[in-house]
Amino acid sequence: MIKCIASDMDGTLLNSVQQISEENKQAILKAQAEGIEFVVATGRSYQEATYLLSQAGLSCPVICVNGAEVRGEEGEVLSSTPISKTLAREVAAKLTEHDVYHEIYTDKGAYSLDPEKAVSILVDIIVSANPKADPEEIRTAAAARTRDGLVHQIDDYELLFSDGNCKIYKVLAFCLDAKKRNEAGEDLRAFADLDITSSGHENLEITNKNAQKGLALEAFVKAKGLEMADTMAIGDNLNDVSMLERAGRSVAMGNASYEIKALCDVITDTNDEHGVAQAILEVL
């Protein structure tokens, strides 16, 4: 019997215009009313995740920045797995060396040197999950990152690396040049303390090796006195693999890649067809 449901956001809970559909919302509320724990597991910052949840009138715990931080329903920090400042500085230097744009995710939100590229990086994530969607609609939706203050502009990342009160959770890199991106990724994989995954065709998501959705979900479930065998995870991309592999019931979105569908127990509808709602209602 499913007692906990974990859902990714981009390409999963969110449709192609970055909204949680009414169908998905009602299914989540029904699950919560029946005593099932619902948790979002996303690569986004807590600030971005709760911005979208509040727009839909939903409240739940959040596994954010790929598991680097876990927060309860009231926003309290349940766990934190940052990258050391020294290592984060080295990562940024390596990406700069390869001319790869990157953002820094912290416990206070995401930071960018270039607001326009901050929009482009989200467009890449959305387009990767929704290849048939209207590019202009996607860019308009993605613009909320900077318009609504969800990404902060900063002049120098060293201001974050030298701030003793700031935790570095993730470095999100983006580059249309595959050669540069792959070379940067190869260099970064030499660091044993890092985990490197992806949420789009042109990006790299870099976190502490212990900051993974699956590890964070496992700890969250255990703290609730539940079992992973009674947990369902829903996702569509590579940064969902660690939780899909560990969950008792793994669900791939209809818009997921072949690799994700192949490792899951069930394939649901696409994110524009309310696939999360379908997956939830099937187990209620």
Element of type H or E holding 17: none
Q: Which two tokens stand for residue 246?
A: 């560990």
Element of type H or E holding 256: none
> 233 near 251, Cβ under 8 Å?
yes
* Residue of 96, 106, 88, 102 whose CA lies nearest to 193: 88
Q: Phi/psi at 37 (nearest 5 deg)?
A: -75, 125
Reduce the DSSP state of residue 10 to 3 states and report it: helix
Q: CA distances (Å), 113 to each of 2, 83, 100, 222, in order?
A: 43, 20, 12, 39
Annotated catalytic residue 155: no
> 71 near 59, Cβ under 8 Å?
no
Identify the bridge partners of residue 20 per DSSP, sorted by sequence position.
Answer: 14
Q: Phi/psi at 107 (nearest 5 deg)?
A: -70, -10
Q: Cα–Cα distance between 171 and 204 in angstroms, integer?
A: 8
Q: CA distances (Å), 54 to each of 19, 35, 58, 60, 246, in order?
A: 11, 21, 6, 10, 29
Alpha helix (H) residue ranges in the chain: 22-33, 46-56, 85-97, 115-129, 135-142, 144-147, 158-161, 178-188, 213-223, 241-246, 258-263, 275-283
Q: Cα–Cα distance between 77 and 70 in angstroms, integer?
A: 6
The catalytic residue positions are 8
